[in-house]
A and B are shown apart, each in its own frame.
Chain A
Amino acid sequence: MTKLDAKIPAGPLSEKWTTHKNNLRLVNPANKKRIDIIVVGTGLAGASAASSLGEMGYNVKVFCYSDTPRRAHSVAAQGGINAAKNYKNDGDSVYRLFYDMIKGGDFRAREANVYRAAEVSNDVIDHYIALGVPFARDYGGYLDNRSFGGVQVSRTFYAKGQTGQQCILGTYSSLLRQVDKGTVVMYPRYDVLDIVKVEGKARGIIARNLVNGELERHSAHAVILATGGYGTVYYLSTLAVNSNASAAWAAYKKGAFFGNPSFVQIHPTSIPVLNEFQSKLTLMSESLRNDGRVWVPKNKGDKRKPVDIPEEERDYYLERRYPAFGNLVPRDVASRAAKERCDAGYGVGDTGLSVYLDFKDAIEKQGKKTIENKYGNLFEMYEKISGENPYETPMRIYPAGHYTMGGLWVDYNLMTTVPGLFSIGESNFSDHGANRLGASSLMQCSGDGYFILPYTISDYLADDIRTGKISSDTPEFIQAEKNTSDKIKRLLSINGNQTPLTFHKKLGKIMWDYCGMVRNEEGLKKAIELIDALKEAFWSDLKVAGKADELNQELEKALRVADFIELAKLMCYDGLNRKESCGAHFREESQTENGEARRQDDAYSFVAAWAYTDDENPPQLHKEELVFENVAVKERSYE
């Protein structure tokens, strides 16, 4: 086991980034034209990095699986984006935003990175306003803010329930502007299936053109992965159904360490499962908990309509258990509390696997119009899916797999353990510790792409100004293409009976049952056995319709599921190794008398970074010790 060096700059916390920026090397404008960069993914992180790098004068190629960059799943982020502007004069500051994230992440994130994310958050808002993003405003014409779970200030900027969509449209517009200028070339409808290393450095990718099925080699001086999270490992999640981990997994297999893979956020307010063919779970923004009150009946199995259950027979369990934060406790706490009530038999709906989110009081106090202004489109979305009108009857919600705090391990420069391979946004592990606070994902993705990576990558690229074009005809590229092509041939030749979807659903169930909201040693060990058996079945009984050299969505799924199966096992290893509870990672063996997570700082105050060995042997654990110099590490309490 080696100790990892995160390359955190010396000096006081609030000066680290400024000092570091002043010491980073630059690439002059003429030399930037000689440097090629590949960006994989066009969500907020990928598109903001690609457009910024294009503006700086680098040659950028950007890849996404959708037909246009605008569709990346950042579009689905509803509630908002945080910044430490202190526009509400409620005592907010960069330090408080930093502290809330460190505490919310249950002291399992790196101080310096989190502080920097908070520091650049204000620049992100300024930039989005300049790009014409229509954030909500008050009557004086100034920007409005609302509050979000796990904090006591209002620092969240929002555009109704479409904040992610509006941020992505701003970012995508600046990306298209660079396409117009010729600095960025878009490759839509591509899956990136391998990372190519030359002399130890990331120098390119193998991508499959999804329209004609051809494999292509693309070379560059550096590769940036902005591929999002891997929540679809659960099959049912709030993610887009095509979201996948394949590029990140390829990076792992090429030597990039994977940080805290078991840290997955289960979002407390999703529309519950309504039918057996359900393909995804739709999120209802956490912002709804600002005005909605969560409750279940006090009596087990109370089958009355929610509106017929009198006030005194309702258990507002979040307000009861956490009086200080009430309905605005962090996501992991709210999710486990819902599971606890449902497991105890108080859940509502046909399956008993949901709780109420009620707007009756808010509508009475503020009027229907105000509530409609705040959440109109979310209410509409809910009604379309469930067929029920949330203005009249409470919503029914249940937790769903949502966001992965885990991801590729990166140092302070956002570089993975493979030189020249960077990872930004949700695809890296860095800023959210063991639990992400609401509205800090858009913030981190944008900060990474606009204001952090463009500086740090230039320092790396300063060594490449004389390298010249990277050839994609070298043995490394040829071999990587052959490996990918062989894998595709193998998948198509199994000719078994079960479709990729069948395997994905089976994998999802294993992970939800044993590596979901609550974990224990026995369950995780069982999950590993089940995953091994599933992997064997996958490679012997898979049926993939169609051919390799055509548009083949079944093959796309098969490639993704093959990687998810392997990643799932790594998640279980990590969950098993971490015998403490922290944030979203709840080990039953480590809890307080009140059923809250019990951290074990002496033994587990580290980032678990896993290194790939080979397909037969377990991964190797490396540790990055977490040092807290600026906050007092204490038990996280929201009571």
Chain B
Amino acid sequence: MNIKLKIWRQKNAQSKGKFETYSLNDVSPEMGFLEMLDYLNQELISKGEDPVAIDHDCREGICGSCGLYINGQPHGPEPKTTTCELRMRSFKDGSLITVEPFRSRMFPVIKDLLIDRSAFDKILIAGGFISSNTGTAPEANSIPVCKKKSDKAFDMAACIGCGACVAACKNASAMLFVAAKINQYALLPQGKVEAAERVKKMVAKMDELGFGSCSNTYACEAKCPKGISVSAIAKMNREFLHAKIVAE
């Protein structure tokens, strides 16, 4: 198949970016979206042009590095799919594909399609952990956990930290990302001890960094490649209220 690409090019964080258009022929429908961009880059280099910078690593949908806005959607058109899992068979021959970095003021562009998502680490540093030093753990089976809760905790823990939720949200809210972590730990007995402190600290950090609030558009859930449900946000709000009112 032959395609046209409209790609955001930006030399570095300081410079102003713009769209460039490229034609690419003989694209195989079996190619991954990133493999198509590898192919484009080889073509650009052979013409003496600068290749497009992209964040990518595992290329199997689990590391969370890749994250592109494709035709106006984080990770492109397919549900529950990361950019690296997206195949060119999702596009028609002759189509124009617009590729941008995740659009969010919270994720500044470093170069081309490569962005700075360190704000996520900052939120987790504020409290996204269970305080258990190496060596302090009791025997693993001494804390039985109801299977239903444990499975739910797993569903919440499936977040890969890609940032699609923030990019999809018109308010640049990180509520789904934060709620997933809050819920994972709140559901487990090990995490309950610090639950109140954790939710207060993480929410405060999220606000301080400038992430927006949730206005219930569900855009985050729709674009989460791991299908994390917005019900997490409601539960986080409950955890937060509980921490503020009951626990204090």
Contacts and interface: CB of A to CB of B under 8 A. Distances in A.
Interface string B13-54: 000000000000000101110111011001011100111011
Contacts of B80: 380
A277 B28 contact: yes
A454 to B, nearest CB: 7
Interface core residue of A67, A75, A159, A387 (most chain B CB under 10 Å): A67
Contacts of A501: 38, 42
B68 to A, nearest CB: 14
Interface residues of A, number: 80
B139 interface: yes
A103 interface: no
Contact of A551 (B12, B57, B89, B144): B12
Contacts of B219: none
28 contacts: A55-B133, A66-B65, A67-B65, A71-B63, A71-B64, A73-B63, A75-B58, A85-B140, A130-B137, A130-B190, A131-B129, A131-B130, A132-B185, A132-B191, A134-B188, A135-B150, A136-B150, A136-B154, A165-B62, A165-B160, A173-B128, A176-B129, A280-B59, A384-B87, A387-B87, A501-B38, A501-B42, A545-B49
Contacts of B215: none
A249 B12 CA distance: 31
B62 A277 contact: no
A127 B153 contact: no
Given A141-B145, A275-B28, A130 B125 contact: no
Interface of B: 12, 28, 30-32, 34-36, 38-39, 42, 44-46, 49-51, 53-65, 78, 80-81, 85, 87, 89, 110-111, 114, 116-118, 120-121, 124-141, 143-147, 150-151, 153-154, 157-158, 160-161, 184-185, 188, 190-191
B132 A174 contact: yes
Interface string A327-361: 00000000000000000000000000000000000
A92 interface: no
Contacts of B185: 132
A134 B161 contact: no
B55 A67 contact: yes
A277 B31 contact: yes
Given A179-B125, A242-B57, A277-B38, A143 B140 contact: yes
A278 B35 contact: yes
Nearest to A373: B151
A177 interface: yes
Contacts of B54: 553
Contact of B39 (A126, A277, A546): A277
A71 B64 CA distance: 7
Contact of A550 (B12, B31, B125): B12
Contact of A166 (B45, B154, B161): B154
A436 interface: no
A497 B131 CA distance: 54
Contacts of A241: 56-59
A414 to B, nearest CB: 16
Sorted nearest first, the 5 A-B pairs with minimum C-beta distance are A141-B144, A130-B137, A173-B129, A134-B154, A126-B137
B84 to A, nearest CB: 9
Contacts of B61: 381, 384
Contacts of A73: 57-58, 63
A98 B32 CA distance: 41
A512 B150 CA distance: 42
A134 B157 contact: yes
Given A141-B144, A553-B51, 19 more contacts: A70-B64, A126-B139, A129-B137, A130-B136, A130-B190, A132-B130, A132-B188, A134-B184, A137-B145, A137-B150, A138-B147, A142-B141, A240-B57, A241-B58, A277-B39, A278-B32, A282-B59, A451-B134, A545-B51
Contacts of B53: 551, 553
A68 B188 CA distance: 25
Interface string A262-301: 0000000000001111111011000000000000000000
Interface in A233-260: 240-242
A454 B133 CA distance: 13
Interface in A110-166: 122-123, 125-143, 159-160, 162, 165-166
B137 A67 contact: no
Contacts of B125: 176-177, 179-180
A499 B45 contact: yes
Contact of B110 (A140, A211, A279): A211
Contact of B130 (A137, A173, A188, A551): A173
B231 to A, nearest CB: 17
A30 interface: no
Interface string A458-485: 0000000000000000000000000000
